[in-house]
């Protein structure tokens, strides 16, 4: 299994990690089966997906609480990551991020706020340290604090041994460069899929220059690249898929035709379309890490199958040309 190494901390992670936003069971994902979620996390670790990613805002702490139970007895086998900067506490001030499930979630990166975020996460996750601690979103406007304040607090957390590495998420190149002025940013999460490759022109050059690992979330484009979505597939009102440009008719048709053209490759490699997409995505950018969500043990097992697909060079090149043709 291919592994990747963070530049400064030396943390080694597999090319794929488990995303647990769905564990939170908020308005986007619906009710969570907690025992199923626990089984999903443990099964992922058994299959070699030993980095698990979460965040306080995933279900207002619910995802972290579930992982705290799931990792009992196996914490030392897992590279655990969570995030800071989103708060829903009553009376907390900050830049409005979203209103969901009756909560007003705000962005706040003050030293005091992210320290509180960390201590709460450690309690929910039932751990003494976080391996990779991400800034979830930048803050702009009235509620922005100096980047130096945020980074100094994160550096203090590292010195205390409460976090091992600092990451960032949902950043533009300018903000990322500023963060790097005050701290060693070792990994960044950003949306990336075969249908949405903007990061190649925006963040990738900065990551390559600064030796920052790029982690792609939503590589299956909310399920569109699993091969299970048809032109007749509909989603309930409020679903983010309804506003995702990739799900609009013309782009959806391109995706369906692309996957259909790879049916012979699925037979060749004895894999599903989703597994083939994950395997190719991991090869699109040298050193790319893919973050794949799962709600059930079966989904985790299916995702893990992509780790064992060794695409032949000619196949990988042709598939990339196919993707380029619709980009």
Q: What is the rounded distance in angstroms from the CA atom of residue 257 to the CA atom of residue 270?
A: 20
Q: What residues form DSSP beta bridges with 133? A: 82, 166
Q: Which residues of 214-248 are buried (b: 16+ CB within 10 A; e: fewer)?
A: bbbbbbbbbbbbbbebeeeeeeeeeeebeebebbe
Name the DSSP class of 193. Answer: B
Tell me whether residue 250 is exposed, middle or buried, using C-beta atoms within 10 angstroms of its C-beta: 0 to 12, 13 to 18, 19 or more.
Answer: exposed
DSSP 10-38: --EEESEEEE-GGGG--TTT----HHHHH
Please name which of 70, 54, 33 lies closest in space to residue 131, comparing C-alpha atoms.
54
Q: For residue 61, how far is the Cα from the chain centroid?
A: 17
Task: Considering only CA atoms, give the Rg of the chain.
Answer: 19
Cβ–Cβ under 8 Å, residues 150 and 103: no
Q: What is the rounded distance in angstroms from the CA atom of residue 318 to the CA atom of residue 118?
A: 45
Please name which of 219, 147, 229, 142 lies closest in space to residue 185, comparing C-alpha atoms.
147
Query: Token match 């979460």: residue?
Result: 54
Catalytic residue numbers read 58
Tell me whether residue 272 is exposed, middle or buried, using C-beta atoms within 10 angstroms of its C-beta: 0 to 12, 13 to 18, 19 or more.
Answer: middle
């Amino acid at each position: 299994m291919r592994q990747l190494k963070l530049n400064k901390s030396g943390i080694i992670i597999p090319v794929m990690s488990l995303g647990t936003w769905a564990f939170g069971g908020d308005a986007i994902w619906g009710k969570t089966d907690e025992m199923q979620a626990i089984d999903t996390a443990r099964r992922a670790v058994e299959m070699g997906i030993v980095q698990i990613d979460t965040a306080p805002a995933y279900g207002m702490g619910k995802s972290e609480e579930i992982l705290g139970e799931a990792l009992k007895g196996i914490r030392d086998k897992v590279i655990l990551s969570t995030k800071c900067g989103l708060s829903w506490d009553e009376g907390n001030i900050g830049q409005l991020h979203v209103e969901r499930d009756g909560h007003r979630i705000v962005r706040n990166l003050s030293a005091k706020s992210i320290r509180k975020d960390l201590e709460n996460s450690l309690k929910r996750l039932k751990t003494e340290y976080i391996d990779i601690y991400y800034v979830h979103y930048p803050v702009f406007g009235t509620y922005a604090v100096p980047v130096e304040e945020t980074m100094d607090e994160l550096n203090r957390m590292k010195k205390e041994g409460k976090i091992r590495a600092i990451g960032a998420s949902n950043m533009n190149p300018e903000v990322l460069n500023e963060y790097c002025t005050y701290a060693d940013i070792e990994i960044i999460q950003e949306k990336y899929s075969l249908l949405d490759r903007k990061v190649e022109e925006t963040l990738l050059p900065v990551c390559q220059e600064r030796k920052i690992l790029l982690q792609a979330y939503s590589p299956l484009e909310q399920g569109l690249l699993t091969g299970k979505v048809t032109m007749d597939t509909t989603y309930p009102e409020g679903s983010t898929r309804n506003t995702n440009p990739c799900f609009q008719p013309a782009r959806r048709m391109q995706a369906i035709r692309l996957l259909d053209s790879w049916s012979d490759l699925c037979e060749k490699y004895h894999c599903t379309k989703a597994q083939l997409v994950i395997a190719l995505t991991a090869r699109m950018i040298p050193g790319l890490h893919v973050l794949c969500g799962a709600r059930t043990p079966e989904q985790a097992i299916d995702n893990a199958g992509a780790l064992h697909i060794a695409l032949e060079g000619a196949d990988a090149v042709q598939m990339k040309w196919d993707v380029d043709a619709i980009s």
